[in-house]
Amino acid sequence: MSVHQLINLEKVQEIVERHGYNKNKLIAILQGIQAVYHYLPAEALKTLSKLLKIPLIDIISVATFYRAFSLTPKGQHVATVCMGTACHVRGAPKILEEFERQLNIRREETTEDGQWSLETVACLGCCAIGPVVVVDGDYHAHTSIRKVPTILNKYRK
């Protein structure tokens, strides 16, 4: 995925319309934009600023505050390894390392072919099934180093 891919800004318009041009729904709108592009493209944010009449810097402040938003392109698939206390003591750091080895990137990075992004999170609220890894919204419970290739292959075509 190229950084300079032409983005279709009509999608932004659509999302904003769906939320009735409501400034208070900024986060929901940003989530919508992120769902379409897998990140928040600069052009989309500039358009959003004009549509919602919110200064661009305020949108950036919100977008950079939450870990869920990214200003740089993300991979097609996003693997999120929980590093919360419960998952940590059950070996999450080792699992994260295994992901790093398999994907040949470090945490918070994206592979060159744009297929995978690797992220961490501090507790997903389901410690009982830890160590937890989330890939594209699917929860993988009781993961271990050995399960990492299986998980990755599931999403590889």
Partner 1 sequence: MITMKMNGVEVKAEEGWTILETAKFYGLEIPTLCHHEGLTPYGACRLCLVEIGEGPRAKLVSSCTYPAEEGLVVHTDTKRVVQARRMMIELMLSVAPYSKTIQDLASKFGVTRMRFKIRNEECILCGLCVRMCEEQMDGKAIGFQNRGYQRKISTPFDLRSEECRLCGGCIYICPACQLRCQGPQAESALCNACLTMDPTCLDYYDELQCWMYDAGRCGTCVREKK
Q: Which of 57, 55, 51 is nearest to 20 (CA)?
A: 51
CB proximity list for 148: less than 8 A, separation 6 or greater: 95, 98, 99, 102
Looking at the chain, list the stretches that DSSP marks H as alpha helix, in order from N- to C-terminal side. 10-18, 26-37, 42-52, 56-65, 85-89, 92-103, 147-155
Output the smallest distance, CB 55 to partner 1, in A. Answer: 4
Question: Which 8-state DSSP code applies to residue 128?
Answer: G
The separation between the first and the last C-alpha atoms of the chain, rounded to the nearest angstrom, is 16
Among 53-61, 73-81, 84-92, 142-150, the segment contacting ligand FES (CB under 6 A): 84-92
Q: Which does 85 bind (CB under 5 to 8 A by kind): ligand FES, partner 1, none?
A: ligand FES
**Residue type, position 24, single letter:** N
Output the smallest distance, CB 42 to partner 1, in A. Answer: 6
144 binds ligand FES (CB under 6 A): no
82 binds ligand FES (CB under 6 A): yes
Q: Which does 15 bind (CB under 5 to 8 A by kind): partner 1, ligand FES, none?
A: none
86 binds ligand FES (CB under 6 A): yes
126 binds ligand FES (CB under 6 A): yes
79 binds ligand FES (CB under 6 A): no
Helix-then-strand count for the chain, H and E: 7, 5
Q: Which of 85, 104, 144, 150 binds ligand FES (CB under 6 A)?
A: 85
Residues that bind partner 1 (CB under 8 A): 42, 45, 55-58, 60-61, 64-65, 71
